[in-house]
Structure 1
């Protein structure tokens, strides 16, 4: 008789993470004919120093309050980093998802003024579901239609990615590089939405459902249950006539905002990114938007699909306000 599959978030996360760990990563011998993806339950239990029955109870949701010591042992067995461990603790110690301010899709007056005064810092504000709540004019030169207030960043990113991939040339090294980088960025965005989002939020569920129905890549990544905050990195954007430029970015949570985040782009002094930002800052707003247009005709053809999905995202935001 097969083991019943559990439906608790904690059990789903443990099962997904153990399927990502390969036996050789934890010093286990791989015998011929092994068909189990990742680790078996009993292998996780042994690595964590607990009985197989007790681990099974946790994964099936029959033990919903494992101790911190048990969670630490599981984190070591599953090779979880600090962010993943904190997410594991949150799943094991669920608390009401409290928003300290009304979740109406708006930003505070102070945040709006800050964006407006950053004349040499492209910046935008998102919520936990990656809806774009606000942005300053400089972002128009970088977003390529993705960082538009009132739309969902993950939805528009997936639509433009899908069209670019469909029209790309697998033999073109630049196309392959762009797709690889894009998929890495999408993975980070998905992990951030899972990490910050409220699993009971109807809007989050609607976004996940829409992306799952349209994109195999989203379904694959979402099933991996990776959860990490979106903190910092490098984003490549096309700025006409300068070409592709790598910008550094940093994301900070806005205190007492109910789960809002401000992301800013910058470049080291003298870098191509710093020069591109100075160039954009010297342009009138409409010219900034034109400079942010992507040179690829395949991405330009993505815009009707992006507009349609963006309209859906706006409807989702309005219905949840």
Structure 2
């Protein structure tokens, strides 16, 4: 059983448990014991065989076809980003690779210089910091050092965050983005998820939410070893021809 099958099973089970009969137009019958929808209800809503659906939830059988993915996404009311995540998991041909610094195009390094004096950095899909510009190195010493991982830094410094609510929003964005950028066949992805699961209870809670989101823009907390947590606005762009590489510009 590969991680790809496990992630699909977890997505289906997690979302099924969240949905209530009323959410999908079904009547709530007396004596219902399951926390959300029944497996047979999801199968019927999606128009697929019940036994086949059960095998998917058990991480058995074949990967679902694009038609089955579309039907289940509608039945489970998945949003656009989570549907795209589901599609990626179900297609081995669409496997994401994890970028490394030496694989970045020269233009990506040039852009980092062009956006000065704004701090900017490039990460890969698992939020390893690949490269930073000079402004970023000055204002985010430590947290955004090349080679560090943003998820590890955020969860490692949770207790020091000035606002638990803002820290949670920052952590959610990173966790949901990690899921969206999932590279289940890559050792680095597997290793990082296992490490975060083992070390941080908060990660386990947020990962169990089964949400997938693209990183676009927002305001988040950044941890600086000299100045502590800093609140900044940021914009993230995908490096052309390198969908696993994300260029983020910070507006302090």
The bucket for the TM-score relative to the shorter chain is 0.7 to 0.9
Correspondence for 1:58 among 48, 56, 59: 56
Q: Which aligned pairs between 1:242-261 and structure 2 lie closer than 5 A?
A: 247-257=232-242, 259-261=244-246
1:263 is the counterpart of 2:248: yes
2:23 equivalent to 1:25: yes
Q: Secondary structure at the match of 2:93?
A: coil
1:73 equivalent in structure 2: 71
Q: Following the alignment from structure 2 to structure 1, what is the Cα–Cα distance between the partners of residues 139 and 74? A: 40
TM-score normalized by the length of structure 1 = 0.66
Counterparts of 1:202 and 1:208 in 2: how far apart (Å)?
10
Match of 2:118 in 1: 121
* 1:131-150 pair list within 5 angstroms: 131-140=128-137, 143=140, 145-150=142-147
Contact 2:17–2:36 (CA<8 Å) still a contact in 1?
A: yes
Name 2:101's counterpart in structure 1: 105
Aligned to 1:304: none
CA RMSD of aligned residues (A): 3.1
2:39 and 2:53 in contact (8 A); partners too: yes
Counterpart CA distance in 2 for 1:142 and 1:224 is 33
Does 1:208 find its partner at 2:206? no
Over alpha carbons, which structure has the higher Rg?
1
User: Match of 2:248, SS?
Assistant: strand
Q: Tell me which of 171, 181, 184 is aligned to 2:169.
A: 184
In structure 2, relative to structure 1, the CA distance for the partners of 1:8 and 1:245 (3 Å cut) is: closer
The partner residue of 1:90 within 69, 74, 88 is 88
In the alignment, is the contact (CA less than 8 A) between 1:125 and 1:134 conserved in 2? yes
Higher strand share: 2
Shift of 1:225: 2.9
Partner in structure 1 of residue 209 of structure 2: 224
**40-49 vs 24-33, which moves further:** 24-33
Summarize the Cα distance change of 1:111–1:29 in structure 2 as closer, same or farther, 3 Å threshold.
same
Alpha-carbon distance in 1 for matches of 2:41, 2:25: 11
Deviation at 1:262, TM superposition (A): 0.3
Pick closer, same or farther for the CA change 1:120–1:79 going to 2, 3 Å.
Answer: same
Partners of 1:64 and 1:92 within 8 A in 2: no
> Unpaired segments of 5 or more residues in structure 1?
1-5, 166-174, 267-276, 278-321
8 Å contact from structure 1 (residues 142, 238) kept in 2: no
